[in-house]
Every structure is written in C-alpha cells, then in structure tokens.
Chains A and B, each alone.
Chain A
Amino acid sequence: MPKPHHSLPFTRRQLLTRIGALAGSVALYQAMTSMGHASGTDFTRPPSLHGAKKGTKILVLGAGLAGMLSAYELRKAGYDVQILEFQNRSGGRNISLRAGDTVTELGGATQKVLFAQGNYFNPGPWRIPYHHQGLLYYCRQFGIELEPFIEVNHNAWLHSSNTFGGKSVRYREFSADFYGFTAELLAKSINQHKLDDIVSEDENHYLIEAMKSWGALTPDLSYTKGNISSWRRGFERPQGGGLEGAPVPSDVLSRKDIMKSGLWDWMAFNQRIDMQTTLFQPVGGMDQIGKGFARQVKDLITLNCKVTAISQNEQGVTVTYNDMAHGGAVRQMQADYCVCTIPLSILSQLDVQVEDAMKAAILAVPYASSVKIGLEFKRRFWEEDEQIYGGISFTDQPISQISYPSHGYFRKGPAVLLGGYLFGTPAYDYVGMPPQERLERALEQGSVIHLQYQKEFSNGVSFAWSRTPWVMGCCSMWTEEARRTHYKTLCSIDKRIVLAGEHASYVGCWQEGAILSALDAITRLHKRIVGAA
C-alpha cells in the first residue's frame, strides 16, 4: 500500500476535506437513507418578521427562487430591498423552453427552440415531491396551479443492453418477477428450515404468508407462469369479453437475467422518499413558479447586472457590477446588508470580502454536470401505440431515461418528451459535444426502446448545465466531510453578508432547498439586524 503523499496546491485542511469527500460517502448514504431526507423537509410556516428599522437597505444578489423569496419576505418585513440579476430574465434554474426561445452555451453554440405552439420542455427542475411543503406553500400563496407529475409507470420500459437479449421489458413485468422470485427464494428457504438459525418458528409462519402475498406465489410457494403471476405482470392475452375472453398467462422472465440486469436499481430509485407519490408539476411549465414569484417582486429586480465584487465595512456593503444593458459599464450599489444567492460555482471566483473560513467554504463545493434533452415528436406514439401515459422508462445507455409528458394526454399533434437526462461521466461527454450530435445520439439510443423514434421525430433541444453561463454547472455537490468542515460557516452571517440558495441547504438540487435556505438566512439576518438596532 503506498503511503499517501499530499502535494500542492492544497493546504492540508483543504485536502483533507476533499479526501474525506471520497471517503465520507458511505456514511452519507446511510445517513441519507435512514434519516434527514427520509422525513421530508422541515418547513412549518412562513417567517413572520417584525420590527425592521425603516430605511434599512438590503441588496439581494440573484433572482432565482432563493433571491426572489428573500426579497419578498424582507420587503414584507419592512426593509428597503433591491435585487441584481445577471440574466435578462428572472427565475434562475427554474426555467422552461418554448417555441422561439434561444439557448446559447459557453463556447457559442446556439440552439433555437422549434417546438409547436403550446409545447414546452423543462431543462432543469421538473418534479416536486409532496413533502416539499415550503415550495408548495408559496405556490399556493402566489396562485401557481399544480398538477400531478407521474414518476412511476408500471407500463413504461426498463432496458439493459446486455440482458433479455437487449430487449426492453415492461416495468410491471420486471418488478413482478423480481419480487416474485425473491419471495420464492425466501419462502422456500424458510420452508426447508434453512433459516431456522435466524427466524423463530412462529415468525416462520407469518413470513411465508407474507412472501406468498407480496410475491404472488402459488400455494406450493413457487413463482411461476400462471394466473397468479399474470395478475401482477400482465397476461400474454389480456382478459376480454364474450366467447374468447379468457386470458392467457404470460411467461416469466429468467431469474438469473433479472438478478444480473441491475434494473432493480431503478425500482429502488423510485422508492426513495423524493420519488414517492404524490409528485407535482406546475401547469404549463416549471417556469410558472419563477414567474409567480417574479409577480411579487418584479419592481425590485434589475436585470442584466453582472456582479463582480462584494465588499463590506462597518458602514455597509458595496456591490460592484457590470451593467450589461449599457455596454458593461462598471457600477456600484450600496446597502446595509446583502443576501447573496449567486451559485457557488460563480461566487467562488468573484472578489468577495469575507472571512477566510467563509472563503474556504465557498471554494469547497464542486458542481455536478448534467444534460437534459427535449425531443418533440409528431404524435404521442407512446400513448397511442404503447399505452404509456406519463412516467419514465429507464435504460443503461447514456441517455439513462425517457420521460413522457404528465399532461396533455390523448391530445393529437406534436408533444415533447424528455429524451435524455445524463449525469456523471456521460454528462461530461455530452456537454462536450455539439448540440446536433447530442440530439443524434439521443435519437439513436431512444430508437432501441421506441421503434417509432426516427419516423416521428420533429425537432429537439439540449441543455448542457456546465455550459450555462450563469451557473456553470447543475447543482452543488456536497459530501459529508465537506459539510462537516464548511457547511455551518457557509450558512453563517459574515458581518453584513449572508449566503442563500440550493447550495446552503441539505435539500441540495431541489427548489425546496433554495426556499428553506432563503427563509433561514433572512430570518437570522433579521434577528441580527434587529438585535443590532
């Protein structure tokens, strides 16, 4: 075993954090699955902030959900609030694409969105778990209409390139067979006294009954072709009416292939609390949330301001920015306090006057990469030909999933689906490709699951988050070790500056994280200000 040898350019402390980053994840996994996330988020009610000293000026940086909510609540509390935003739009990562929109990436590649009128694509956030009560509270408050988002669809496809002869299987078939065979193994082991060491006799009875019921086993504890299993996995010939209405049972898949396929991972994914029923989406596109928030604070936002530096002293905060609407002219704005919601991916390179520990915290969080691909087809063949209404098909190809729209069912005419959602190494790979090539690959891989792809394809757009100028990544990637060392500092108030946003939460990469972080930051800031008054 080589002795570890730490070298430039990191201080020991920075290095330890990053190393821990690699090591801490097991514990993180356990922590995440057993607590924290598992109980939903901790929103109870909106803050009620009283006693703001009139005329106290607070500058909010960034008009994403964290920034706009901070501004909304702070103004309500009586502060004099302004927001500076880099883009020519508000909403931040809360964004939808429609006909006529243009996507320009770092490096210059430009795509025009050619969808039919009325269609949209959510290149970022797309689903909201029912327990994200903070976000849902404000949606209700601001009149943003929500509808169900279908996550699990038993009639969607699971595809693994090197099992089942590369053919897709229905989620329903796979899950029935996976549970069935697992239950059979357990029930038979118990019956054959193979588990007597660990299972007591009276428990045996219940376990066997449970496995029979859960796994759709026959009375002799087998999972096998027949009516019992087909009521789960579907019949070869479905039940009908009249003379020839009797159903014909279907064959079960091979147990070995099921276990080898790895496709059970997707079922486990769908069982996480974040993916459990009910999920929601805004009617008409995710950006309806950003727009709803913007209606509340529109008059406070100045767009096209590229913040480059934040400094502070006893008297207040000075923010330096380029006024992009006026040739990038350098301007400054003063305030008493600052709520900064600029993503750390950007903030880590700006000139920010904070304590060293805060600087280290800002630098400690790398950003994940992700690509989403929206494809418009001439018709809803997944509904018309395959009876798939919403939900997600999963594959081990780089596109990883195909998600069908959870709205507009049975409509005639073109519709948009999510034709790829890439992470990790495949995401780097696809970010580095010209947009046209991303589409070609998505079509090629999607065709393996849906033969109609090539014939019905109309147009598409891809969104490469690492090449998005105003975030240069998808989301913050915290590890347990980095949290231990830096999280509290990152969330602390550094004299007159407090950070907020998805990155300053334990609900990373969810809009709820932006909401909860903003509420916490402004509540503490308000207390600080009132205490100091």
Chain B
Amino acid sequence: MRNLYFYAVFLLFLVLTSTVTWADSSGKITGKTESLSDGADIYKHICQSCHMSYGKGAEGAGARFPALAKNPKLQSGEYVASVVLNGMGTMPWFAVTLNDQQVANVVNYIRTHFDNHYTNAIKPDTVMMMRPHLTEEYE
C-alpha cells in the first residue's frame, strides 16, 4: 500500500509539474537539482529563494516574504509543516516535491536556526499524518 502511495505521488509529480496551467513554461520540469536530504540543504536550495539567507525575509511592493528568523510562529512544528505541505498565499505547496523526512528535516532546521530555539523536533510520522489527502484515483 505504502509503495503504491509513493508511486502515486511520483506519478502525480510528473503530471502536476508538467501541466500546472501557466502556459509559457516548458512542457515539464527539466534539469535535475541536487538530491536534497538534510534540512540546511533543503532550506538553501528551495526556501531561501523567497525567505532569503538566514531567514531574513524581504519586503516587496507592499507585500513581503516573512522573516523566519526569530519568528514566534515557528513555535508550533505542526504549523510550519502544514505551511510547507499546503503552501500559503503566494507560497506554493511542497507536499508533492518533498517527502515526510524532507519536510520534517527542513521544519526542524528552521525551528532551530536563525535565532529560533524550538528543540521539540517534529517527526516524519507526524508529517505523514498531516499530508493532504489525494483523491481515490491515486490511493
């Protein structure tokens, strides 16, 4: 069952990345990126693009990428994991691109770096339980 689940996620990834509706994009995601495992790597190669190095955040034209540094919202690991899985406003969802371990690693990383000191780590199992539900087709 579990394998099937992952296979489904993988399929979905292909379909999703190849067809999300913005049109000028290439037909599929090409180019490999470093296979990311530890939290620092995931942060650097994905999250840093918006939240900036050291989680500084940034201010645009009346909107911002919130700072993750010294951010009291990070107190709840589940909150952070939920944002990463589902996205939030402009921030895309990462439920499809990151597995449970990767989500847990990046969540735990930002909660213990950038002047955050929340040491109660979230576990991959907890992330798994929070995963958005895929339709029957894929189960």
| B1 surroundings in chain A (CB, below 8 A) | 1
Contact residues of A between 333 and 374, Cβ < 8 Å to B: 344-350, 363, 366-370
Q: Bound complex: CA of A509 vs CA of B137, how far in Å?
A: 29
Given the interface pairs A4-B131, A23-B134, A366-B91, the reply to whether A400 lies near B62 with Cβ below 8 Å is: no
Q: Bound complex: CA of A532 vs CA of B25, how far in Å?
A: 42
A507 at the interface (CB under 8 A from B): yes
Given the interface pairs A366-B93, A370-B25, A428-B45, the reply to whether A25 lies near B19 with Cβ below 8 Å is: yes
Q: Bound complex: CA of A437 vs CA of B123, how far in Å?
A: 35
| B28 surroundings in chain A (CB, below 8 A) | 265, 269
Would you call A29 and B89 a contact (CB within 8 A)?
Answer: no
Contact residues of B between 1 and 60, Cβ < 8 Å to A: 1-2, 5, 12, 15-34, 44-50, 52-53, 56, 58-60
* 14 residue pairs from A and B, CB less than 8 Å apart: A8-B78, A15-B86, A127-B24, A345-B89, A346-B63, A349-B64, A368-B22, A369-B49, A399-B31, A432-B48, A472-B90, A477-B21, A509-B22, A509-B25
Q: Bound complex: CA of A23 vs CA of B9, how far in Å?
A: 10
Size band of the A side of the interface? 35 or more
Given the interface pairs A4-B131, A5-B129, A26-B137, the reply to whether A368 lies near B25 with Cβ below 8 Å is: yes
A401 at the interface (CB under 8 A from B): yes
A510 at the interface (CB under 8 A from B): yes
Q: Mark A1-22, 1 if CB is under 8 A from B, else 0.
A: 1111111111000010011111
Would you call B27 and A266 a contact (CB within 8 A)?
Answer: yes
Would you call B24 and A478 a contact (CB within 8 A)?
Answer: no
Q: Bound complex: CA of A513 vs CA of B23, how far in Å?
A: 10
The total of interchain contacts (Cβ-Cβ below 8 angstroms) comes to 232
Would you call A345 and B90 a contact (CB within 8 A)?
Answer: yes
Q: Mark B112-139, 1 if CB is under 8 A from A, else 0.
A: 0000000000000000111111110111
Given the interface pairs A1-B5, A265-B27, A306-B61, the reply to whether A22 lies near B12 with Cβ below 8 Å is: yes
Q: Of A5, A6, A367, A397, which is within 8 A of B90 by CB?
A: A367
B97 at the interface (CB under 8 A from A): yes
Q: Of A4, A26, A107, A422, which is within 8 A of B58 by CB?
A: A107
B87 at the interface (CB under 8 A from A): yes
| A28 surroundings in chain B (CB, below 8 A) | 19-21
Q: Of B16, B23, B65, B76, which is within 8 A of A25 by CB?
A: B16
A78 at the interface (CB under 8 A from B): no
A421 at the interface (CB under 8 A from B): yes
Would you call B60 and A363 a contact (CB within 8 A)?
Answer: no
Would you call B129 and A18 a contact (CB within 8 A)?
Answer: no
- Residues on A lying within 8 angstroms of B by beta carbon are 1-10, 15, 18-23, 25-26, 28-29, 32, 37, 86, 106-107, 125, 127, 161, 265-266, 268-269, 272, 274, 306-308, 344-350, 363, 366-370, 394-401, 421-429, 431-432, 464, 466-479, 506-510, 513
Q: Bound complex: CA of A530 vs CA of B132, how far in Å?
A: 46
Would you call A106 and B52 a contact (CB within 8 A)?
Answer: yes
* Residue of B16, B21, B56 most packed against chain A (CB within 10 A): B21
Q: Bound complex: CA of A268 vs CA of B26, how far in Å?
A: 10
Would you call A472 and B132 a contact (CB within 8 A)?
Answer: no
Would you call A18 and B93 a contact (CB within 8 A)?
Answer: yes
B95 at the interface (CB under 8 A from A): yes
Would you call B90 and A366 a contact (CB within 8 A)?
Answer: yes
Would you call A346 and B62 a contact (CB within 8 A)?
Answer: yes
Q: Which residue of chain B is the closest to A129 with respect to CB atoms?
A: B23
Q: Of A15, A346, A396, A509, which is within 8 A of B23 by CB?
A: A509
Q: Bound complex: CA of A268 vs CA of B28, how far in Å?
A: 10
